[in-house]
Amino acid sequence: MVIRMRLLALCVLALAGPVVAQEEAAATAANLRGRLEAGAEHRFVMTVDTLLHLRTPRGGDDEATGPAQPAEQKQAAHQWVDFIVRVRETGEQGTTLELEYAGLRFSLESPNQAGAFDSTAPEAEGEPAQALRSVVGMRLLVKVDAEGNVTAVSGGEHLVKPARDGAEGAGEEGAGRGDNGEAGGFWPRVAAQFRERAIVASFLEPILTTRHPTGMARVGETWTYRDKLEESPLGTFTIVTEYRLESVEAETAVIALSGSITAGPAPGGGEAPFDLLGSANSGRMVWNTAEGVLDSLEQTQRVDLRTSMQGVKMDLVNSTTVKLTRMRQ
């Protein structure tokens, strides 16, 4: 889970309240409420594929360098995560879950950083293995409110916390060293994101809630959810997702996802430091109406930006596809 901007799709269902728009209702209604019972256990496999494409000019329009030519860089990341969700306690005030990471594969290819780890290959060595091996088997306690929002995550303190405010490697108590002894190194920071509340919420909340305001919907009905992503180094983004109940059959409801991504002000206020040239947000989820839990989700998001860094103009395209699949026991 490298950098938050490279995981834009993972933050699609997190914060603001829904707005409902009714189409002409069909006769078939579905119960889209999330339902958690103490003692229940669900296992999921998640894949995240991210492609970052950066294009910058090279050279100049003069006799010495010739006409400007574009220079391109690409970064590709793949994650495969096998995780188990156990319901420990439920009540009117919310639910306590246990999240266990049972398996992990991670690969990254870029001009500045590359590496891979596979938890099924115990002989793996190197910096990625040293940092990411400690994620496998880790158990976190997760607090969820009555609306299905993740409010707190505890556990995994052995992982270094990503540096903030320029304090490289600073942990929650200021220590900030991973198992490999490297303070704030790249791969320890990757590992530490698996215990961050925002990251955990990004893949647990779609499992627990459809974001419908009442929980009962008819075929053809639509509702909208807005998520504000404020931790990007480029500024604030609002991710708008419209849900549409397409069909209901037996114990399954199929929901289509569509929407867009818009830009807000820069971190310090004022205009955003980039132009948002375009965006896309689409997908499909299958909800188990009998058990009140997600069966599967596939969603793709893309943003096209034009910005500048140290006076150099550049175009950036970020595309992320997330898939969640519930594994039957």
What are the structure tokens assigned to 152, written together? 């707190």
| Confidence at residue 227, expressed as pLDDT on a 0 to 100 scale | 86
Average pLDDT over residues 35-42: 93
Measure the CA angle with vertex 117, ends 302 and 6; round to 5°: 20
Residue 34 has pLDDT above 70, yes or no: yes
The predicted-structure confidence for 162-213, as pLDDT tens digits, reads as follows 444 433 333 333 333 333 333 468 999 999 999 999 999 999 999 999 999 9
The predicted-structure confidence for 91-132, as pLDDT tens digits, reads as follows 888 899 999 999 999 999 998 899 999 998 877 788 999 999
Could you give the percent of the chain with pLDDT greater than 70?
Answer: 75
Q: What are the DSSP calls for 133-165, one per residue?
A: GGGTT-EEEEEE-TTS-EEEEE--TTSPPPPBT
Could you give the percent of the chain with pLDDT greater than 90?
Answer: 56
Q: What are the DSSP calls for 78-101, one per residue?
A: EEEEEEEEEEEEEETTEEEEEEEE
Contact between 127 and 185 (Cβ < 8 Å): yes
| Confidence at residue 180, expressed as pLDDT on a 0 to 100 scale | 35
Contact between 15 and 64 (Cβ < 8 Å): no
Residues found in the chain:
329
Beta strands 222-232 and 216-218: pairing type? unpaired
| Confidence at residue 13, expressed as pLDDT on a 0 to 100 scale | 28
Contact between 190 and 161 (Cβ < 8 Å): no
Per-chain mean pLDDT for the chain: 81
Number of domains in the chain: 1
Contact between 288 and 251 (Cβ < 8 Å): yes
Rg, the chain, Cα only: 21
Tell me the three state secondary structure of residue 102. strand
| Confidence at residue 15, expressed as pLDDT on a 0 to 100 scale | 30
Q: Which amino acid is at 38?
A: A
| Confidence at residue 58, expressed as pLDDT on a 0 to 100 scale | 60
Structural domain containing residue 153: 4-327
CATH of the domain at 194: 2.30.230
More reliable by pLDDT, 156 or 171: 156
